[in-house]
Amino acid sequence: MSETEREHDTYGRLIDLLDSTATPYRLIDHEPEGATEAVSALRGHPTADAAKCIVLRVKVDRRTTRHVLAVVPGDRRVDLDAVRALFAARYVGFSDAATAERLAHAVPGTVLPFSFDPDLELVADPDVVARPALYFNAARLDRSLVVSGADYAALARPRVERVAGQVRTT
């Protein structure tokens, strides 16, 4: 296995975690897709039941930058002002693709709502962990996973804070 394959074997790491903890889950194979709305349609569930995972760059001060994985319901956007307030930061913005891929160990569109990197802080909106069924791409564009929000919270142990904006109507 090459270094790239090993680094991105996030799918295997996730399955091992779920199996080793006897966490109930279901896999769903589908056409390759990374956009939340499109993949939710392929999986056959409301977009609100999807976990949208966004890697953010949080500049606390001139010298301190943190990276945060914000997880919000699929029909919502990350509220950057809420994240800024949560970390008492000067600036919050989207991480560049290379940094997001390095920290999430997944390509855009396949980022898990889990952090397997100590430099990536995990924050999930309360509406994510409250879902009876939470859907997300399983570090692959062609396979998704569904677990309960409670099981997700128990395994991922995110900081649970209100970081989602309002429900989008269009």
What is the span of the domain harbouring residue 80? 3-164
Residue 169 lies inside a defined structural domain of this protein = no
Report the distance separating Cα 24 and Cα 12, nearest Å.
16
Confidence of residue 2 (pLDDT cuts 50, 70, 90): very low
Q: What is the pLDDT of residue 166?
A: 84
The C-alpha atoms of residue 52 and residue 37 are separated, in whole angstroms, by 10
- pTM for the predicted model, two decimal places: 0.92
Tens digits of per-residue pLDDT, 11-48?
A: 999 999 999 999 999 999 999 999 999 999 999 999 99
Please tell me the predicted confidence (pLDDT) of residue 148.
98
- Say yes or no to pLDDT of 105 above 80: yes
Q: What is the mean pLDDT of residues 112-133?
A: 97
Question: What pLDDT does 108 receive?
Answer: 87
Would you place residue 7 in the very low, low, confident or very high pLDDT band (cuts 50, 70, 90)? very low
CATH number at residue 37: 3.90.960.10
Which tokens is 7 given? 């680094």
Does residue 56 form part of some domain? yes
Whole-angstrom Cα distance, residue 60 to residue 72? 22
Q: How many domains does the chain have?
A: 1
Structure tokens at 119: 């430099």
Partnered with residue 66 across adjacent β-strands are 58
Question: Which tokens go with 165?
Answer: 């904006």
- As a whole number, mean pLDDT of residues 106-112 equals 92
